[in-house]
Amino acid sequence: MENNMAAPAAVIRHLQYATLPNGTRLHYASAGERGKPLMLFVHGFPEFWFEWEAQLAEFGRTHFAVAPDLRGYNLSSKPAEVEAYRPRHIVEDLVQLVSALGYDQAVVVAHDWGGAICWNLAIQFPQLVRQLVIVNSPHPYLFARALATDPEQQAASAYMNWLRKPGSEKALAANDFALLDRMLADADGKPAAWYTPETRARYHAAWSQPGEGQDAGVHPLTGGVNFYRASPMHPPGEGEPPPDISRLDPAAFVVKVPTLVIWGERDRALPKSLVDGLGDFVPDLRLERIPEGTHWVIHEQPERVNLLIRSALPG
């Protein structure tokens, strides 16, 4: 494949919207020319399209690179109801967005909650995904098993139960988003080098973005935490039995598309043990470990992440 890493960065276009057949209005940023192969970049919590700024600038050189705000985030629709954030609805948003952009297939790159959604997207709609790239987001069956049986994972994921509680969005917003700022700190509890004052201001603006129209009055952070409230994936709470995964059929979780998984091994919430056994569910798997990378490896090492992504693109 031609190497375009030395070409000028692509221009990123903002404030674009797609109103989907299901009624969701998604904001997205893009780079590159419509008509070139589509690359879809899907963010996690507590981020927004801006997570992928370095990737849009790079892959817009060769592709139509699109990074939406998922429903509940920044400038996209922000329904208040927890039910609206069931994974099937978020998957539907992405399927309909690809179609609304004029495509029937995409290279899909995703992180964190975006990865959780896009594992499901690739399992349910393999014909839509040319190549899947996952960054620090566990395969759904392996994560469910770890939450049910692994005390280390249960402890690492205890924050999920806190986020599911009523009022967590107000706690996250308190003291000028102090808890969210701390979440983006490095492993030593100090501000990460990538989280500059300018970047912090971008995140604070996104976290403050009110809903519009029928979503007016919804707390700006409710959508993000509703992903946790709507998900069956969480560790057992105090006094609760672990989740029963006996009814899950492993064969129903096989990913039938070429997949690159990039894993920062210093992720405090998602330990590297979560990739053990991944080849049983992803026959066409390439796993790239970054030993010094944290959950935020996309920000920490954007050039390295970009090189890995480009090396996996279809010829």
* Domains defined along the chain, listed by start: 12-236+252-312 (3.40.50.1820)
pLDDT in tens, 134-179: 999 999 999 999 999 999 999 999 999 999 999 999 999 999 999 9
Model pTM greater than 0.85? yes
Span 256-280, average pLDDT: 97
| Predicted confidence (pLDDT) at residue 43 exceeds the cutoff of 70 | yes
pLDDT in tens, 294-314: 999 999 999 999 999 999 999
Q: What is the DSSP string of the chain?
A: ----TTSPPPPEEEEEEEE-TTS-EEEEEEES-BTBPEEEEE--TT--GGGGHHHHHHHTTTSEEEEEPPTTSTTS-----GGGGSHHHHHHHHHHHHHHTT-S-EEEEEEHHHHHHHHHHHHH-GGGEEEEEEES---HHHHHHHHHH-HHHHHHTHHHHHHHSTTHHHHHHHHHHHHHHHHTS-TTSS--TT--HHHHHHHHHHHTPPP-GGGTTS-TTHHHHHHHHH-S-----TTPPPP--TT--GGGG---S-EEEEEETT-SSS-GGGGTTGGGT-SSEEEEEETT--TTHHHH-HHHHHHHHHHHS--
Residues known to be catalytic: 112, 228, 295
pLDDT in tens, 47-69: 999 999 999 999 999 999 999 99
| Predicted confidence (pLDDT) at residue 2 exceeds the cutoff of 50 | no
